[in-house]
A and B are shown apart, each in its own frame.
Chain A
Amino acid sequence: MKLVLIDRQSSEGPRLGRILTALGHHVQRVDDEDALVQSLTPDAPDVVIAVLPDPYIEEWLPWLDGVESHVYRIAALRMMHGDAVARAWDCGMDDLFAWGASPEEVVGRIEAITRIRRWAYTLGDVLDRQPFSLSMLGSEAELAESVAHELSALAGEMKAQPAGAQALGDEGMAAEVLLSLPDQHLALRFGLFVADSMSRPFGTAVFGEPETHELRIDALKEMANTVGGALKRQSLRHGMTFAMGLPREAKAPPAAVDWSGWLQHDTFSLFAWAKVVGARPRRLAVGALREGMVLVQRVLGINGRLIAGVGTVLTQRTVDKLAKHVCESTLVQVTNS
């Protein structure tokens, strides 16, 4: 955690600095307004501790309001008497403690901030967002048009056809991508299907020649990935940040879907579908995490530094990083991708 200590040569400032540094935090001491402003860029601190009283500190603090993320403000008061306490709260302090507070109290308060931030982050997500619904992304026809538009760049012009206009072939190849919305415990499956009879024309449209079955599957996965990304970007406009997994081969469209549409090319047709499914998080030990899972909580290192944020789609590298920085038996919340 990055901490800034506003202090003008008090005896308390150095003592606090020593306590916090010993905890592994990066502590910067500033003693004038310019130094404070400099300390806010490029990375704002997590916490500013103002060692009061200082007649100028109230003038310095408004600088913190311009910082993009909330910076926690703690006042270290020489005396915890009524006027000083009231003045500190009026300045917009988030917490107070007295000069000479025991190291245990200082440490406890700083660690509480880590917990409060995690809680506030989750609560903010819940309060700010409406429940996701596919209709937020447009009507059925608009969704089909949007999917056709995305795919045209990869395979040549495609047009949306009314749903149900064609029968789905028995055999074929399919690919899908899963978009997880961790705070709402749901996921959106988006998939594409090409009947075997259309597979070679599909390959020719994408590559200029039919190519192998394996490469055609890869192309279908990339198409699902492209549309998944577009759905994710559309959802961002509604304040929803989906975590998108890697596209994978699927067997066939599910029996019941929330949306489906046919996309017509000159030489082949594609069936597209979307289905909203529940995705309740589960707790897993860090040592049991696997690539492709989505983190539903932030993971912080022992010094409070962020190791991986909410919505991180785990790569093998991230899994290794977590195992290195956090005990392997630590439980974290994830959803499967």
Chain B
Amino acid sequence: MDIRVMVVDDSRTIRRQLGRALTKEGFEVIEAEDGEDALEKLRDGPLPDVLISDVNMPNMNGIELLEQIAETPSWSDLPVVMLTTEGDPKVVKYARKLGAKGWLVKPCRPPLLLDVVRQLCGAVAS
């Protein structure tokens, strides 16, 4: 079964670069352009195995998305990794409190991201 990763970022460049790196390694990628788009895709299903989200985005930012995920019981087990340029310790702490499993600072080289995704979904590199 394919492992699904949702990439939430308002930058098409990041979605394109991550999408390529993940697809090349056999992951199925779902793209969302902000928190609202991600929520809609989570509601419509299928649920991803891992969600990677930016923080600063229009409409609904990554922290607001994380709040929504934390408040929804059926999504509470979904591992979320934040991938962002944001480095304010208060924001990092709040994200951790909301259940974020990781905080990666952009620019993040694909091998590191792939390692994190594999760890979170328990997949073995093919």
Contact = CB atoms under 8 A, between A and B. Distances in A.
A28 interface: no
Given A222-B14, A229-B106, A315 B57 contact: yes
A317 B61 CA distance: 8
B21 to A, nearest CB: 12
Interface stretch (B5-13, B41-49, B71-79, B118-126): B5-13
Nearest to B65: A317
B108 interface: yes
A215 interface: yes
Contacts of A215: 12-13, 16
A335 interface: no
B13 A219 contact: yes
A207 B16 contact: yes
A316 B59 contact: yes
Interface in A124-154: 150-151, 153-154
Interface in B69-92: 84-89
A236 B86 contact: no
A139 B14 CA distance: 30
Given A316-B58, A318-B64, A225 B89 contact: no
A244 B56 contact: yes
Contact count band on B: 20 to 34
- The interface residues of chain A, by DSSP majority, are classed as helix
B58 A226 contact: no
B13 A229 contact: no
Interface string A187-225: 000000000000000000011000000010011011001
Given A150-B107, A154-B107, A229-B105, A315 B13 contact: no
Interface in A231-254: 232-233, 236, 241, 244-246
A292 B106 CA distance: 21
Contact of A241 (B56, B59, B85, B88): B88
Nearest to A234: B87
A306 B97 CA distance: 17
Nearest to B36: A317
Given A221-B11, A246-B57, 12 more contacts: A42-B97, A207-B16, A215-B13, A226-B85, A226-B107, A228-B85, A229-B84, A236-B88, A315-B35, A315-B59, A317-B61, A318-B64
Interface of B: 10-14, 16-17, 35-36, 56-61, 64, 84-89, 97, 105-109
22 contacts: A150-B107, A153-B109, A154-B13, A154-B107, A206-B17, A207-B16, A215-B12, A215-B16, A225-B11, A225-B85, A228-B85, A229-B85, A229-B87, A229-B105, A232-B87, A232-B88, A236-B87, A241-B88, A244-B85, A246-B10, A315-B64, A317-B60
